[in-house]
Amino acid sequence: MKNFPLLIICLLMLTNSFCQETTLKIPEGWRTPNKYDIKDDWEVFQKDDYIPYHFTNDFDQNGLKDEAWILIKNDNTSFGVWILLKTIDSQFNYLITEVKISSVKPQYIGISETEKGTFQTACGKGYFDCEPGDPSQVVVTSPQLWYSPFESGPGYLIMWNKSEMTFRSYQMTD
């Protein structure tokens, strides 16, 4: 009984290490991953410095921390890659992609921050012909969002377009 408070503290610390919290408002009808969702590739690839379903970044370079998430619908039918963009007095939520859980489990997808640099797109690498308006390369001047399956499948760079005030998606791998 003497060690009971210590046990409670240890359990709380362990529980918190499985899940990330947010200071931003999660879109209605969606939820953040909980400790029961941390399995498969999320459990395998999660490290102290990498959470495969969440990270913070200043995507629009306004000096405020935004958040990228893989969120799960409350009814567990699908998951989505979201960017929660913070402004001084409000928040804008961008659903980048939504996938039915019956076809792909969210734990097979990871998100991360990109590096700065110039990168060839998938069409620029010759995987397929570039569509009109699709660039063969993109210049990343500030870290942005990357999402892709862990094992195989296409990877996407999601970049803030300041002139259009929205995000643009580029397929980077095949």
Q: pLDDT tens digits, the chain, 174 residues: what are they?
A: 555 444 443 433 333 334 556 779 999 999 999 999 999 999 999 999 999 999 999 999 999 999 999 999 999 999 999 999 999 999 999 999 999 998 899 999 999 999 999 999 999 999 999 999 999 999 999 999 999 999 888 999 999 999 999 999 999 998
Q: How far apart, in whole angstroms, are the C-alpha atoms of residue 82 and residue 95?
A: 5
Tell whether 10 is covered by a domain: no
Number of domains in the chain: 1
Tell whether 5 is covered by a domain: no
Residue carrying the six token digits 């709380």: 12
Residue span of the structural domain in which 113 resides: 24-171
What's this model's pTM, rounded to 2 decimal places? 0.84
Tell whether 102 is covered by a domain: yes
The answer to whether 141 and 128 are in contact (CB under 8 A) is no
Tell whether 6 is covered by a domain: no
Tell whether 15 is covered by a domain: no
Tell whether 160 is covered by a domain: yes
Q: Which amino acid is at 17?
A: S
Q: How far apart, in whole angstroms, are the C-alpha atoms of residue 72 and residue 51?
A: 16
Tell whether 17 is covered by a domain: no
